[in-house]
């Protein structure tokens, strides 16, 4: 399809675009910005007046229960590429499971759904999976999700295996013996209300161990969903002295803190836990310093029943795809990042981490595009919410910023009506 997007504000730091202009797409690729190509006759024209045109979002961490439903949610949220963690049902630990899940994504007409293979069989933390077979089946990385690896020797062997096949090792640092089944940050709030807590040391100790093993094995490591100031500082120091690791933070960690948990609303139950205001503010600093390379949604839709028990007994996780854009714009409005910087953290950088040829408005790249209205206010309620998981702490709130069109490889996969 030949597609012409006109009069939108093109924002793309890679190509130093921050201007009102036009975008031309043909055969699934971007063929021109601003100047109409010779003999170009658009089959469809999208008038993006008053809207932002940027690369489609690349989400480094989602968990899906229903692929057809949640890929539609991703499309409506401007996400054109995402990575599915291995700790879903079925566990992504064999080529057969990968093939089955890819078939479901193909049936949903969502072409850029990537799967992260399990590091160990059944995520048991002891027997290594067949990583080469998982890579050959299409896995883009390996991880143990939110499950522990039994000991450091197994971790070392896993990282050596991953390195030998040039597989990205994605790791959420958490020393399980210290986190000990906790559900809240170890601080004043957890102490006051008697909630089982998780110290930030559970994150920083695991991060340091993994950094040492990365140096030893030469494995490419990406740290997922960091939550504490001390972890960001340790990562910053490692990068300063030559480590080539990368890291992301979940969008909700940039807004919410332990103080929000006082309501005992289980929608605030997440892993890693919401930490102090000091931690949240330093996570924002980490975005500007380059210590943190990307922002993910860490989307985890749950049924109503999963959130009905007492706070510590509920399932951790938030349904977050639909709030990804408005929460980014909130960061921009608060002065934590500018729009171009924020979009890099959702597009260009995650694509680089995954080794994908997308994430910018560069001529010749796949036409993965998000068009959004930065001023459109909407309410988080049953009329506007698409995900089957309504487990969001933002329910009932008014947010600003809404995706109007999502284009994946030149194909319009979502239009807001």
**Where in the sequence numbering do the catalytic residues fall?**
298
Name the DSSP class of 55.
E
The C-alpha atoms of residue 113 and residue 360 are separated, in whole angstroms, by 18
* The pairing of beta strand 197-198 with beta strand 184-185: parallel
The C-alpha atoms of residue 198 and residue 277 are separated, in whole angstroms, by 16
Which of 360, 359, 342, 341 lies closest to 350 in space, CA to CA? 359
Strands (E), 73-162: 79-84, 113-118, 141-143
- Stated length of the chain: 417
Contact present, 142 and 120 (Cβ < 8 Å): no
The C-alpha atoms of residue 225 and residue 248 are separated, in whole angstroms, by 5
Which of 227, 323, 244, 257 lies closest to 290 in space, CA to CA? 244
Percent of the chain that is helix, strand, coil (3-state, to 5):
35, 25, 40
Contact present, 254 and 277 (Cβ < 8 Å): no
Q: What is the CA radius of gyration of the chain?
A: 21
3-state SS, residue 116:
strand
Encoded tokens for 93: 């630990």
CA atoms within 13 A on the CB side of 150: 12
The C-alpha atoms of residue 259 and residue 190 are separated, in whole angstroms, by 10
Contact present, 221 and 193 (Cβ < 8 Å): no
Contact present, 136 and 162 (Cβ < 8 Å): no
Q: What angle, rounded to 10 degrees, do the helices at 277-289 and 339-346 form?
A: 90
3-state SS, residue 83:
strand
Tokens 């675009």 map to which residue? 17
Phi, psi at residue 93, to the nearest 5°? Answer: -125, 5
Name the DSSP class of 366.
B
């Amino acid at each position: 399809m030949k597609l012409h997007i006109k009069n939108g504000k093109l924002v793309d730091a890679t190509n130093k675009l921050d201007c009102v202009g036009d975008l031309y797409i043909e055969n699934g690729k971007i063929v021109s910005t601003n100047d109409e190509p010779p003999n170009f006759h658009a089959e469809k024209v999208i008038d993006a007046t008053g809207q932002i045109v940027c690369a489609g979002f690349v989400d480094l961490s989602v968990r899906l229960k229903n692929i057809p439903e949640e890929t539609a949610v991703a499309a409506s949220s401007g996400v054109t590429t995402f990575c599915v963690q291995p700790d879903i049902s079925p566990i992504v630990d064999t080529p057969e499971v990968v093939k089955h899940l890819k078939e479901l994504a193909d049936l949903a007409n969502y072409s850029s759904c990537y799967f992260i293979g399990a590091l160990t069989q059944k995520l048991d933390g002891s027997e290594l999976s067949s990583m080469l077979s998982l890579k050959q089946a299409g896995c883009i990385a390996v991880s143990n999700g939110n499950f522990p690896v039994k000991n450091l020797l197994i971790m070392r062997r896993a990282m050596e295996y991953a390195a030998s096949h040039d597989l990205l090792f994605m790791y959420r640092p958490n020393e399980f013996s210290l986190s000990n089944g906790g559900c809240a940050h170890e601080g004043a709030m957890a102490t006051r209300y008697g909630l089982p807590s998780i110290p930030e040391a559970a994150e920083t100790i695991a991060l340091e161990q993994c950094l040492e093993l990365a140096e030893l094995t030469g494995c490419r490591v990406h740290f997922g969903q960091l939550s504490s100031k001390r972890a960001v500082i340790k990562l910053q120091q490692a990068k300063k002295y030559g480590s080539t690791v990368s890291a992301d933070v979940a969008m909700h960690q940039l807004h919410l803190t332990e103080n929000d948990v006082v309501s005992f609303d289980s929608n605030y139950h997440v892993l890693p836990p919401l930490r102090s205001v000091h931690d949240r503010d330093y996570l924002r600093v980490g975005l500007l310093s380059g210590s943190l390379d990307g922002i993910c949604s860490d989307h985890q839709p749950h049924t109503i029943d999963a959130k009905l028990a007492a706070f510590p007994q509920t399932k951790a996780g938030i349904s977050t795809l639909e709030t990804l854009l408005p929460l980014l714009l909130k960061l921009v409005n608060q002065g934590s990042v500018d729009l171009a910087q924020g979009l890099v953290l959702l597009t260009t950088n995650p694509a680089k981490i995954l080794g994908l040829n997308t994430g910018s408005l560069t001529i010749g790249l796949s036409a993965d595009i998000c068009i959004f209205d930065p001023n459109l206010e909407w309410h988080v309620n049953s009329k506007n919410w698409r995900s089957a998981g309504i487990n969001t702490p933002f329910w009932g709130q008014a947010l600003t910023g809404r995706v109007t069109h999502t284009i994946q490889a030149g194909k319009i996969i979502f239009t807001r009506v």
